[in-house]
Structure 1
Amino acid sequence: MKKFIPTLLTSLMILSCGQLQASDDAKTSTIAASSPKNIIMIIGDGMGPAYTSAYRYFHDDPNTPEIEQTVFDRHFVGNSSTYPAAESGYITDSAASATALSTGIKSYNGAIGVNVNKQPVETVLEYAKQSGKRTGVVLTLQINHATPAAYLAHNVHRYNYNAIADSYIDDGIKADLYFGGGWKYFIREDRNIVDEFIQSGFHYIDNYSEISTIPANKPVLGLFAETGLPWALDDTNKYRLSMMTQAATKQLENDNGFFMLIEGSQIDYGGHARDIAAAMHEMDDLAKTLEYLETYVKEHPDTLVVITADHSTGGLSIGKKTERSNPNINSKYLWKPEFLRSMSMSPETIAKRFIDKELSLTQLSELLSFKITATDMENLQQAKLADHQIVKQFKLLATDVKKSKRKPRPYQSVFNVITKIIDVKTNTGWGSISPSGTHTGIDVPVFAFGKGSEMFSGFQDNTDIAKKIFTLLGKK
């Protein structure tokens, strides 16, 4: 009997392990069957829930009684937490969050594809490439900025821009397509990385008009600006992210499928600048991109699209003052995006023009697409004088002192007044009291559609998104 008990236990253990193995195999088989051929990961940088809500009202047709759904509303599936590794507290930066979304691990703020011990961690893009898929990145900032870098590189700090750009060649080419900005970092006096890409077989373009001339089945590097692209409001193509995405899907298609990262990069910049006009038009470009991908998924049902934000920026509030706090507000509850819809130029560009030229109240109203007051004009003139003085004082500093300070933007005070005018006109609020809107620690929305999208429903951490994508790519 004593000999029988261990034998029985052993048999039961073998049977149990066999059942577990069969169960694991069944799960793997089920996942494999539901795995998409193409995976498109989209990050709206800084796009917290207030941004997608605000976009709904910005997008609304005032001539209809209902408020129309947006592409975000149609595909909302859940929320995600965004906190970084404990050493960085509760509020993430773009680098730590992109590292979480690309690798499935938490890291410190500033980390690019490395863990808290500063050791490289494999990314979903790298794994997809190794698995035989084509890979690509499409964004509206420089291609070595925090988010794309966290998918393509491994570096101890996000601001090591030249080193990150160098690694795109030195550590092996990991993508078949790069669309964004970055001449400053890829065409330098000490190194011309663009030439090295060309020597490696890449087709290079530096103008939107050349996108239609890209040879089929050839890797491509497209850099369209010195650093980031112009604001959507100012660009020659206000839907440049959508345009680049359409070209990228066509270029990356192949029998093994592709993994593509897309970033609506400058939503975050709008939040940092507390510039609701620029932010909403960046959101509009991202929305048009998603609307195109809806059509793409209908034609290619073996494609998964996952959309989220890395964090929220600026503490955006849809509504600020009420009739009790300001007699000029005629309602307790008010937000007026109609003043944003008609704008055709970014507040930053308007500020630059105001600094460079003597604009009348009428001319400035025309640039803004709505009337401003004499008091607004007086505040702008005072801001212009302040900007001139700030630049003058900076020029008087000793050379070594200048190196330790950030060079002032000669239009910053004017820009601040213009965005404040727009905030008052629309009744927009910002939670951040910093001159540059800060990140916030709130959860961000998750959207998904296409094959396998049900995996992203409900509440999850940002690291879970990467883990699920790894699973869909076949990593055990």
Structure 2
Amino acid sequence: MATTSDVTLTNDKHIPRNIIMVVADGMGPAYTTAYRNYADDPSTPAIETGILDEILVGNASTYPAAVSGYVTDSAAAATALATGVKSYNGAIGVDANKQPVESVLQRAKKLGMRTGVAVTSQINHATPASYLAHNESRKNYDAIADSFYDDKVNGHFVANVMLGGGTQYFVREDRNLVTAFTENGYQYVEAYDELASVPAGSDVIGLFAPVGLPAALDDENHHRLSYMTEHAIKHLENPEGFFLLVEASQVDWAGHANDIGSAMAEMDDMSVTVSYLHDYVAAHPDTLVVLTADHSTGGLTIGANGVYEWHPEYLRNMQSSVSSIAVNMVSEDSPAGYAEAQLGFTFEGDDTARVTDIAALPDFEARETALKAFLDEKTNTGWTTGGHTGVDVEVFAFGAGAHAFAGQLDNTDIAKTFFQYLEAK
């Protein structure tokens, strides 16, 4: 496997001024293939390639420290991606002995760069937390939120920009961290469009939901990650460079839920974000973007039940998530008609009768499960688990220094290479 010694710094063009790390949480290889088919133009004979096909450079192993076996959780994987150190499942920025280890974002801050995170989970969730904090357990959400304010790097807050969800962890009865940040010069926003009025170069905390953001299908902005990313960069740009973590957090959540409709919508939000970043790098060639997953979730299969078919056409026009449909259909005069409009395809055969029966189920969870099964049958989608799997994940990279991420890597190699680039600056 590659190590930092494999990185060749032959001239300054290989040393990025800015580093943007994109984590598509839970995005195993089946997700990228499924998205290519989902995004395909069915009016043409060929399946078109997309931005991910253009920037694929390699693969990475994802296993955690030996104490946790072969299948990682998001905390151990994020700690590896952020620090270059393998740790146990549940670890936030600490090694297997529960000792703090420095992240690449923290090193960037130490070197005078501006730093930030833009995520669709709560900002103190496992992945952003592993770049910003140190804690023995990912479940200690309040303590992790506190550390964003309390733990400094060279006397400065570790992140200049924090965008995502998590209000309930930052505005609590025992402590109001939002007030504390604003008293120290941060701009606070509660709605996406408020970001547009914040002067460029500001320190910003934006919390847009009590916990994670709404699912992409249900959010007022289906491409909220690309919007947050664009505004995060606006506030991070400076002569010394910046480090930005971007996380498409809810690819993972859709995988855990075995929800193919939401999985493709979250992948679409991520893909639009990467396309924006590709254009940004074209205009700012001293910027490096690396995209990978922390692990794969759900054991997604494109085709199931011995049938050699997959039908993404049933997903392309969805107007809301199956969770939202399961909540709202019971109050509709025609539950099946409502579901048909929200799912975005014309019912045929016994579809109407089946969905009418689903609407009559007594509780939300039963309706949601039945609607997901209905979509899985329509698309012929398979799942093997509601958890994670141990497969390798793809690595994508472009911009200054992207050559170092080609081939078969371990997830720790990504952070090790970032550290070398940061020191070379």
Shorter-chain-normalised TM-score: which range? over 0.9
For residues 219 and 360 of structure 1, do their structure 2 counterparts lie closer, same or farther at Cα, with a shift above 3 Å needed? closer
- Give the one of 253, 258, 265 matched to 2:242: 258
- Distance in 1 (alpha carbons) for counterparts of 2:252 and 2:229: 19
- Distance in 2 (alpha carbons) for counterparts of 1:376 and 1:105: 50
- Give the one of 355, 360, 374 matched to 1:377: 355
- 1:421 matched to 2:355? The reply is no
The structural deviation recorded for 1:358 is 5.3
Letter in 2 for 1:364: A
- Give the one of 29, 34, 59 matched to 2:14: 34
Could you tell me which residue of structure 1 aligns to residue 78 of structure 2? 98
SS in 1 for 2:120: strand
- Distance in 2 (alpha carbons) for counterparts of 1:468 and 1:202: 31
Aligned runs of 1:406-417 on 2, under 5 Å? Answer: 411-417=364-370
The structural deviation recorded for 1:355 is 4.1
The structural deviation recorded for 1:369 is 1.9
Q: TM-score, normalised by structure 1?
A: 0.84
Letter in 2 for 1:465: I
- Distance in 2 (alpha carbons) for counterparts of 1:358 and 1:154: 51
- The question of whether the paired residues in 1 share the 8 Å contact of 2:329 and 2:335 is answered with no
- Distance in 2 (alpha carbons) for counterparts of 1:374 and 1:210: 42
- 1:191 matched to 2:166? The reply is no
Q: TM-score, normalised by structure 2?
A: 0.94
- The question of whether the paired residues in 2 share the 8 Å contact of 1:37 and 1:302 is answered with yes
The structural deviation recorded for 1:32 is 5.5
Could you tell me which residue of structure 2 aligns to residue 229 of structure 1? 213
- Distance in 2 (alpha carbons) for counterparts of 1:139 and 1:362: 35
- Give the one of 442, 448, 462 matched to 2:411: 462
Letter in 1 for 2:336: L
- 1:346 matched to 2:321? The reply is yes
- The question of whether the paired residues in 1 share the 8 Å contact of 2:326 and 2:359 is answered with no
- The question of whether the paired residues in 1 share the 8 Å contact of 2:93 and 2:131 is answered with yes
- Distance in 1 (alpha carbons) for counterparts of 2:199 and 2:180: 19
CA deviation map 1:330-385 (0-9, x unaligned): xx411000110011111110011124445432232222223162552354145x22
CA deviation map 1:12-42 (0-9, x unaligned): xxxxxxxxxxxx99x8863765210000000
- The question of whether the paired residues in 2 share the 8 Å contact of 1:311 and 1:442 is answered with yes
The structural deviation recorded for 1:316 is 0.1
For residues 86 and 475 of structure 1, do their structure 2 counterparts lie closer, same or farther at Cα, with a shift above 3 Å needed? farther
- Give the one of 54, 61, 70 matched to 2:50: 70
- Distance in 2 (alpha carbons) for counterparts of 1:88 and 1:300: 40
- Distance in 2 (alpha carbons) for counterparts of 1:42 and 1:233: 21
Could you tell me which residue of structure 2 aligns to residue 130 of structure 1? 110
Percent identity over the alignment is 54
- The question of whether the paired residues in 2 share the 8 Å contact of 1:99 and 1:113 is answered with yes
For residues 34 and 367 of structure 1, do their structure 2 counterparts lie closer, same or farther at Cα, with a shift above 3 Å needed? closer
Could you tell me which residue of structure 2 aligns to residue 170 of structure 1? 150
- The question of whether the paired residues in 2 share the 8 Å contact of 1:103 and 1:124 is answered with yes
- Distance in 1 (alpha carbons) for counterparts of 2:83 and 2:169: 25
- Give the one of 297, 308, 314 matched to 1:313: 297
Could you tell me which residue of structure 2 aligns to residue 139 of structure 1? 119
CA deviation map 1:412-471 (0-9, x unaligned): 111000000000000000012xxxx11000000000000100000000100011101111
- Distance in 2 (alpha carbons) for counterparts of 1:420 and 1:346: 13
Could you tell me which residue of structure 2 aligns to residue 439 of structure 1? 388
Letter in 2 for 1:261: L
Could you tell me which residue of structure 1 aligns to residue 311 of structure 2? 336
| Residue segments in structure 2 that go unaligned for 5+ positions in a row | none
- Distance in 2 (alpha carbons) for counterparts of 1:335 and 1:50: 12
Q: CA RMSD in A?
A: 1.8
The structural deviation recorded for 1:65 is 1.5
Could you tell me which residue of structure 2 aligns to residue 363 of structure 1? 338
| Residue segments in structure 1 that go unaligned for 5+ positions in a row | 1-23, 323-331, 388-410
Letter in 2 for 1:452: G
SS in 2 for 1:227: coil
Aligned runs of 1:266-277 on 2, under 5 Å? Answer: 266-277=250-261
- The question of whether the paired residues in 2 share the 8 Å contact of 1:32 and 1:474 is answered with no
Deviates more, 1:366-375 or 1:339-348: 366-375
Letter in 1 for 2:370: V
- The question of whether the paired residues in 2 share the 8 Å contact of 1:112 and 1:150 is answered with yes
Aligned residues: 414
Could you tell me which residue of structure 2 aligns to residue 152 of structure 1? 132
- Give the one of 36, 41, 44 matched to 1:56: 36
Could you tell me which residue of structure 2 aligns to residue 180 of structure 1? 164
- Distance in 2 (alpha carbons) for counterparts of 1:365 and 1:58: 19
